[in-house]
Amino acid sequence: MGAELHYTQRGGDITYHGPHQAILYPIISLRDIGFGARKYVETLELTMIELASLHGVKAHAGESGETGVWVGERKIGAIGVRISSGITSHGVAFNIDPDLSYFEHIVPCGIADKEVTSLKREVDSDLPAEELIHEQLISCFVRLFGYNNVIWKDNPSLCDQQS
């Protein structure tokens, strides 16, 4: 398939990152924001649920033992984090329109017999530009994590949120 394999020190099993996914790997101090590990993961899930809802997709957190975000029984967003000394690394992958065939060769997040889906597959209309969806993911993250002094470095005109 031409896929490369990289070993990392994060939670979860094998995952796939590729074109047409929105990837968010925050590096933050949980102590500084007053979060424990569970609240952090649950808020990452809520971030992706909110992103899906912006496009009319009803997503939900997984059942017990099924981290990530689901549309029915289909996984649309994965979470794999590492927390060391209260500092986070790694994060989330939200499927915008990736080649879903890659997921046929792995057990996504160690959960067998579950299908993987994408935002493109779940919506009835055209999606906006992927860059906008990436920005929406960041905006959802910023809001749900309570950040209120954020400056966008790549394109400050898009969202200069200083309040």
The residues that are catalytic are: 109
For residue 92, the cross-strand partners are 24, 79
Give the contacts of 47 (CB within 8 A, at least 6 positions apart): 24, 92, 137, 140, 141, 144, 145
From the annotation, which residues make up the binding site for substrate? 10-17, 78-80, 91-93
